[in-house]
């Protein structure tokens, strides 16, 4: 038997592709080198070995100086030198499948250690070509005896190689999505932090403007003309509007904190009565509560925020002398269902599709002459979605609006 030094002199090394630099960059872009075996690839090599009736099947990636075996059916190792690899030759072939029927009589492989030491006599390899045309490696089979490959096996090997590349692409795409998701998460956290800092910093000057307007009214009201008083009222009202806008933004961006609150057990009647008390209603209003009281297990803080927004809208966007609001609640299986109906202004049909969009408004003024900011309903939908529910709206212009929504029951252990 030849010594290792002498044997290497007879090995015909596979040539280096002309686009090797770009090809290697493509291989590494999939981040599969030196990764652990995966069932998806192992299933393909097992199937390939069965179809081709061979003891060995591999998914390989050709690195700078090694042939990395992403999946190795029938072998106990996961890499081999590139200089002695059959795959190094296979990636240069333009045919669909590179075949060596008997390596012992093939000048390229007769002195190859894989042939002389491991009895790798038969080889068939289909190139793994990505969408940019780079040969990444092969899906290949080995046998210890000379043989041929049938046209049916050739077609199967080509088709399975195509599926291997699809798996490569899917994993690459998933990695990119995860990276983009992480970047978006970081930017969202930065945005939340920025919004919180800016909002809190703006609230104090706005409060000072409101107080200053009242002080000017009180101290100089007797010397100000009607136009000057009107300007002061405008400054005060604008400050209130901007303050509400900022509060809405903070509420919207802090929904994650609300959702993370621990679930509680509480009565539906108590919850709704607390909301009505918080709203401090000082206008003619009739609110009809659900007939049935339900013991609920849910995120109370989030539900309070939802009700405050929806009932608050029913109060604000109502042009009737007497406001009427009907609230209903029932449970079925593991879901709570709610509805809030009012006799308010209603919403034009063409506006319903974007009513839950952030900053989406219908352009009308509320009963106090203030235009909405389009944050509240967006926050409501965001909360309901995170609570595992859905919300829908029904409205008739001039007659009223009904919101129906659901949330998942939270099991308390």
Domain ranges, ordered by start, for the chain: 4-174, 261-413
pLDDT at 184: 80
The most distant pair of C-alpha atoms in the chain lies apart, rounded to whole Å, by 117
Q: Which CATH number fits domain 261-413: 1.10.10.60, 3.90.280.10, 3.40.190.10, 3.30.565.10?
A: 3.30.565.10
For 384-400, give the DSSP string. HHHTT--EEEEEETTTE
Does the predicted model carry a pTM greater than 0.85? Answer: no
pLDDT at 36: 92
pLDDT tens digits along 107-122: 999 999 999 888 899 9
Q: How far is CA 18 from CA 21, 91, 92, 125, 134, in A?
A: 8, 12, 10, 20, 11
State the angle between helix axes of 226-253 and 376-386 in degrees (0 to 180), rounded to the nearest 10.
10
Bridging pattern class, strands 335-342 and 400-408: antiparallel
Question: Coil, strand or helix: which one is 323?
Answer: strand
Highest mean pLDDT among 71-75, 242-246, 288-292, 368-372: 71-75
Contact 85, 64 (CB under 8 A): no
Confidence category of residue 65, pLDDT binned at 50, 70, 90: very high
Joined tokens for residue 151: 């046209």
4-174, CATH topology level: Beta-Lactamase (3.30.450)
Is the model's pLDDT at 9 over the cut of 60? no
How many whole angstroms separate alpha carbon 100 and alpha carbon 124? 6
Over the chain, what is the mean pLDDT? 84
Is the model's pLDDT at 7 over the cut of 60? no
| Fold match between domain 4-174 and domain 261-413 | no
pLDDT at 194: 64
- Phi then psi for residue 122, to 5 deg, are -105, 140
pLDDT tens digits along 184-219: 877 777 666 666 666 666 666 767 777 888 888 788
Q: What is the mean pLDDT of residues 225-245?
A: 74
Is the model's pLDDT at 100 over the cut of 60? yes
Joined tokens for residue 256: 């994650």
- Phi then psi for residue 141, to 5 deg, are -130, 150
Q: Identify the bridge partners of residue 268 per DSSP, sorted by sequence position.
A: none
Q: How far is CA 165 from CA 157, 159, 279, in A?
A: 13, 10, 60
pLDDT tens digits along 262-307: 778 889 888 888 888 877 777 888 889 888 898 988 888 888 888 8
pLDDT at 370: 65
pLDDT at 8: 43
How many whole angstroms separate alpha carbon 72 and alpha carbon 74? 6
Is the model's pLDDT at 413 over the cut of 60? no
Q: What is the mean pLDDT of residues 171-175?
A: 91
How many whole angstroms separate alpha carbon 148 and alpha carbon 208? 89
Length of the chain equals: 413
pLDDT at 2: 36
What share of the chain has pLDDT > 70, as a percent?
A: 83
- Per DSSP, 15 falls in state P
pLDDT tens digits along 311-368: 888 888 888 889 999 999 999 988 999 999 999 888 888 888 888 877 666 667 766 6
Joined tokens for residue 176: 């990119």
Question: Which pairs from 239-243 meet CB under 8 Å and 24+ separation?
Answer: 239/206, 239/207, 239/209, 239/210, 239/213, 240/210, 241/370, 241/371, 241/373, 242/202, 242/206, 243/203, 243/206, 243/207, 243/210
How many whole angstroms separate alpha carbon 379 and alpha carbon 248? 8
pLDDT at 59: 97
3-state secondary structure 234-259: HHHHHHHHHHHHHHHHHHHHCHHHHH
Phi-psi region of 183 (alpha: psi -120 to 50; beta: other; left: phi over 0): alpha
pLDDT at 230: 81
Confidence category of residue 374, pLDDT binned at 50, 70, 90: low
pLDDT at 45: 97
pLDDT at 197: 65
Is the model's pLDDT at 256 over the cut of 80? no
How many whole angstroms separate alpha carbon 183 and alpha carbon 307? 33
For 183-240, give the DSSP string. HHHHHHHHHHHHHHHHHHHHHHHHHHHHHHHHHHHHHHTTT--HHHHHHHHHHHHHHH
Give the residue with greater pLDDT, 374 vs 149.
Answer: 149
Instruction: Centre a 10 Å sphere on the Cβ of residue 354 and count the other Cβ atoms it contains.
Output: 12
pLDDT at 3: 36
Identify the H or E element spanning 69: strand 66-73
How many whole angstroms separate alpha carbon 161 and alpha carbon 400? 61
Question: Coil, strand or helix: which one is 282?
Answer: coil
Give the residue with greater pLDDT, 123 vs 4.
Answer: 123
Give the residue with greater pLDDT, 181 vs 28.
Answer: 28
What share of the chain has pLDDT > 90, as a percent?
A: 44
């Amino acid at each position: 038997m030849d010594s290792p030094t002498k044997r290497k002199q007879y090995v015909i090394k596979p040539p280096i592709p002309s686009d090797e630099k770009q090809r290697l960059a493509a291989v590494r872009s999939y981040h599969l080198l030196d990764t652990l075996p995966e069932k998806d690839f192992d299933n393909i090599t097992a199937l390939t070995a069965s179809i081709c009736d061979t003891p060995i099947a591999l998914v390989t990636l050709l690195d700078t100086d090694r042939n990395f075996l992403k999946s190795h059916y029938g072998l106990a190792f996961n890499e081999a030198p590139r200089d002695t690899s059959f795959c190094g030759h296979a990636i240069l072939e333009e045919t669909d499948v590179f075949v060596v029927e008997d390596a012992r009589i093939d000048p390229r492989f007769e002195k190859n250690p894989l042939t002389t030491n491991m009895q790798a006599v038969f080889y068939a390899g289909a190139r793994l070509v990505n969408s940019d045309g780079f040969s990444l490696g092969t899906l290949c089979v080995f046998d210890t005896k000379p043989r041929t490959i049938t046209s049916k096996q050739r077609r199967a090997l080509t088709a399975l190689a195509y599926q291997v590349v699809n798996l490569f692409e899917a994993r690459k795409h998933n990695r990119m999505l995860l990276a983009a998701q992480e970047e978006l998460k970081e930017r969202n956290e930065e945005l939340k932090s920025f919004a919180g800092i800016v909002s809190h910093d703006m609230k104090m000057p706005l409060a000072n403007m409101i107080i200053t307007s009242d002080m000017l009214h009180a101290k100089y009201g007797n010397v100000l003309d009607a136009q000057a008083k009107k300007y002061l009222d405008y400054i005060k009202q604008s400050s209130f509007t901007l303050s509400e806008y900022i509060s809405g933004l903070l509420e919207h961006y802090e929904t994650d904190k609300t959702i993370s609150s621990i679930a509680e057990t509480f009565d539906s009647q108590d919850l709704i009565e607390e909301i009505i008390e918080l709203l401090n209603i000082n206008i003619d209003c009739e609110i009809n509560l659900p007939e049935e009281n339900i013991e609920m297990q849910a995120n109370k803080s989030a539900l309070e925020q939802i009700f405050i927004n929806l009932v608050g809208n029913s109060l604000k966007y109502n042009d009737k002398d007497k406001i009427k609001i009907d609230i209903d609640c029932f449970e079925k299986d593991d879901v709570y269902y709610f509805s809030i109906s009012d006799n308010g202004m209603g919403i034009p049909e063409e506006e319903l599709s974007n009513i839950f969009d952030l900053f989406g408004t219908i352009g009308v003024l509320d009963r106090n002459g203030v235009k909405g900011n389009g944050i509240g309903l967006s926050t409501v939908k965001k909360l309901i979605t995170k609570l595992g529910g859905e919300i829908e709206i029904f409205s008739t212009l001039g007659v009223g609006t009904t919101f129906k929504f659901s949330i998942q029951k939270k099991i308390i252990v």
